[in-house]
């Protein structure tokens, strides 16, 4: 058995013996504690670390309009989730309270078609992401487009757009606006000289275009177009649906208005139909006035689901970008693929424009199979993971053959005019594992 050892028999180093002295012993030296601010001053000198500004898209998507931003007071609640305010009508405490609201001295809500607390949180969140002064959320992307055009282009005005803008927007501009005394001109994105010529010859009120376009993913040089249009007094409206606010911010590039079909990447789960338009307070106020008359209000429940989707948008879009880039590279080298349309490829004619204004290239890849209409249909039908469906931007991968999905029954002339070939496939990458999608595409190509 080991002999017992008492503390008094142990010889301790001098430093440790000092620690055992009573605190009031003269052997203890009192040292004044350096306060935290003074310690930082000693460590950093005159340079103090900047306060966090919380401007990253990841943080704004979660907190803007709620904990952060101008809507924070209105949304103040002990609920982490944004409350769904389903009431259609809001009451006032007194006539003076109502007058203060009417005169803009008090912010509140009056009627659900005009505004709603849940929708207001959503609008402020989108404004933060788009770096916009204001945002209007609508019942659909098409409602956002139509309301914007009606509000900003008066009778006698002139809309210039591209031949491959969203098909329903193209039809509305060409067919409906002409009956209201509004002229329209369609140009090819490949021919920027025609844009300059139209601007020089005619009084253009507004230029409208998708960037990237659907399904060929051409990209508008937003900076250049904005500069050219603004010289002639024309507004610029960009539909940025296929990019999302994570990949592209048209307002920071010179555009006056940005619209989205928020059904796609922003809501992101194929379960909400919504649209939004962002820009300056002055322009959005004009659009909002028309929106009140047209009645395209989104429901508070849909707005809540939209908010929930936005909170994961940055994560989802990062996955979409990564998978689509890998998919495009894979297909570009495959012997059964004639051509790949994806602005993330260096071989793509729109790559330099996209690179200059986008931080990611989106989740849609279009490609032409080395086959005819029926052979391409066999490829599409052989795919096991993606669903044959319209739309894009959700968690599930979707696939379609535009000649069948969107242009079935159309003439060859119309298909050619829109760049639609029988062997064209549009693949909207979801958030599945790339290797699973890769293996599925490779096995389906063997069926051709």
Specify the CATH number for the domain of residue 89.
Answer: 3.40.640.10
Whether 427 contacts 374, CB under 8 Å? no
Q: Is the model more confident about 1 or about 404?
A: 404
The answer to whether residue 422 is domain-embedded is yes
C-alpha distance from residue 172 to each of 145, 149, 180, 213 (Å):
9, 10, 11, 17
Cα angle 85, 111, 87; round to 5: 25
299 plus 323 within the same structural domain: no
Percent of the chain with pLDDT over 90: 72
299 plus 409 within the same structural domain: no
**pTM for the complete prediction?**
0.85
Q: What would the DSSP string read from start to end of 322-343?
A: HHHHHHHHHHHT-TTEEEEE-T
80: nearest Cα among 107, 62, 105, 58: 62
Looking at residue 395, what is its pLDDT?
98
285 plus 326 within the same structural domain: no
Hey, which residues does 367 pair with through a beta bridge?
340, 425
Looking at residue 222, what is its pLDDT?
98
pLDDT confidence of 101, banded at 50, 70, 90?
A: confident
Check which CATH number belongs to the domain holding 379 and give it.
3.90.1150.10
Close Cβ partners of 80 (under 8 Å, ≥ 6 residues apart): none
Looking at residue 28, what is its pLDDT?
46
256 plus 330 within the same structural domain: no
374 plus 437 within the same structural domain: yes
The answer to whether residue 332 is domain-embedded is yes
Task: Count CB-CB contacts under 10 A for residue 91.
Answer: 9
248 plus 321 within the same structural domain: no
Tokens 């060409």 -> residue: 174
Close Cβ partners of 52 (under 8 Å, ≥ 6 residues apart): none
As a whole number, mean pLDDT of residues 408-436 equals 92
195 plus 209 within the same structural domain: yes
- Residue 186's SS3 state is strand
Final residue of a structural domain among 270, 288, 309: 309
345 plus 386 within the same structural domain: yes
Cα-only R_g, the chain: 29
C-alpha distance from residue 281 to each of 35, 286, 287, 292 (Å):
46, 9, 10, 16
The answer to whether residue 15 is domain-embedded is no
Which strands make up the sheet holding 134-138, listed edge to edge? 134-138, 275-279, 257-261, 235-239, 206-210, 158-162, 183-187
State the burial class of residue 22 (Cβ atoms within 10 Å of its Cβ: 0-12, 13-18, 19+).
exposed
The answer to whether residue 362 is domain-embedded is yes
Task: Give the total number of structural domains in the chain.
Answer: 2
Hey, which residues does 340 pair with through a beta bridge?
367
Least confident of 156-160, 249-253, 292-296, 364-368: 292-296
276 plus 328 within the same structural domain: no
> Has residue 253 got a pLDDT over 80?
yes
The answer to whether residue 420 is domain-embedded is yes
Cα distance between residue 223 and residue 202, in whole Å: 21
334 plus 303 within the same structural domain: no
- In this structure, what are the phi and psi dihedrals at residue 180, rounded to the nearest 5 degrees? -105, 10
The answer to whether residue 167 is domain-embedded is yes
Final residue of a structural domain among 283, 309, 335: 309
Least confident of 24-33, 45-54, 131-140, 205-214: 24-33
Q: At what angle do helices 434-445 and 373-382 cross, to 10 degrees?
A: 140
438: nearest Cα among 361, 342, 269, 325: 325
As a whole number, mean pLDDT of residues 81-90 equals 88
Range of the domain at 384: 314-446
Whether 267 contacts 274, CB under 8 Å? yes
Cα distance between residue 364 and residue 381, in whole Å: 19
368 plus 437 within the same structural domain: yes
Q: At what angle do helices 141-152 and 281-294 cross, to 10 degrees?
A: 110
Task: Count CB-CB contacts under 10 A for residue 338.
Answer: 14
As a whole number, mean pLDDT of residues 357-366 equals 98
Final residue of a structural domain among 309, 338, 366: 309
Cα distance between residue 413 and residue 409, in whole Å: 12
Whether 243 contacts 260, CB under 8 Å? no
The answer to whether residue 77 is domain-embedded is no
279 plus 384 within the same structural domain: no
Whether 182 contacts 157, CB under 8 Å? yes
Rank 25-39, 53-67, 80-94, 196-210 by mean pLDDT and report only the highest.
196-210
Cα distance between residue 168 and residue 144, in whole Å: 12
The answer to whether residue 136 is domain-embedded is yes
Positions of E strands within 157-304: 158-162, 183-187, 206-210, 235-239, 257-261, 275-279
Least confident of 52-56, 202-206, 316-320, 421-425: 52-56
Looking at residue 67, what is its pLDDT?
74
pLDDT confidence of 353, banded at 50, 70, 90?
A: very high
């Amino acid at each position: 058995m080991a002999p017992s050892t008492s503390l008094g028999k142990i010889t301790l180093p001098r430093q440790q013996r000092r620690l055992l002295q009573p605190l009031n012993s003269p052997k203890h030296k009192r040292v004044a504690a350096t306060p935290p601010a003074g310690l930082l001053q000693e460590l950093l000198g005159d340079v103090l670390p900047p306060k966090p500004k919380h401007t990253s898209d990841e943080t704004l998507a979660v907190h803007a309009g709620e904990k952060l931003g101008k809507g924070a007071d209105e949304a103040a609640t002990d609920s982490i989730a944004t409350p769904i305010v389903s009431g259609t009508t809001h009451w006032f405490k007194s006539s003076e309270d109502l007058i203060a609201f009417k005169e803009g001295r008090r912010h509140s809500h009056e009627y659900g078609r005009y505004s709603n607390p849940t929708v207001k949180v959503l609008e402020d969140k989108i404004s933060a992401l788009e770096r916009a002064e204001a945002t209007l959320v609508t019942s659909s992307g098409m409602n956002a487009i139509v309301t914007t055009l009606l509000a900003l282009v008066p009778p006698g005005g002139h809309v210039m757009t591209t031949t491959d803008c969203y098909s329903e927007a193209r039809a509305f501009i060409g067919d409906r606006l002409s009956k209201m005394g509004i002229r329209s001109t369609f140009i090819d994105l490949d021919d920027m000289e025609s844009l300059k010529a139209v601007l020089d010859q005619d009084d253009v009120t507004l230029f409208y275009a998708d960037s990237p376009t659907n399904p060929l993913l051409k990209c508008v040089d937003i900076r250049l177009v904005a500069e050219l249009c603004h010289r002639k007094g024309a507004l610029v409206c960009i539909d940025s649906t296929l990019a999302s606010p994570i990949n592209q911010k048209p307002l920071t590039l010179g555009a006056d208005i940005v619209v989205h079909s928020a059904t796609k990447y922003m809501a992101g789960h194929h379960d909400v139909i919504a649209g939004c338009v962002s820009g300056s307070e002055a322009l959005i106020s004009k659009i909002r006035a028309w929106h009140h008359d047209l009645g395209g209000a989104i429901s508070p429940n849909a707005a809540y689901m939209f908010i929930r989707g936005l909170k994961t948008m940055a994560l989802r879009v990062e996955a979409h970008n990564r998978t689509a880039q890998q998919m495009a590279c894979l297909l570009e080298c495959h012997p059964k693929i004639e051509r790949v349309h994806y602005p993330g490829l260096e071989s793509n004619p729109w790559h330099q424009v996209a690179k200059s204004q986008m931080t990611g290239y989106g989740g849609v890849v279009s490609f032409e199979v080395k086959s005819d209409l029926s052979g391409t249909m066999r490829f599409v039908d052989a795919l096991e993971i993606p669903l044959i469906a319209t739309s894009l931007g959700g968690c599930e991968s979707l696939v379609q053959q535009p000649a069948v999905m969107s242009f079935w029954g159309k003439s060859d002339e119309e298909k050619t005019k829109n760049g639609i070939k029988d062997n064209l496939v549009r693949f909207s990458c979801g958030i599945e594992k790339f290797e699973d999608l890769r293996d599925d595409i490779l096995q389906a190509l063997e069926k051709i």
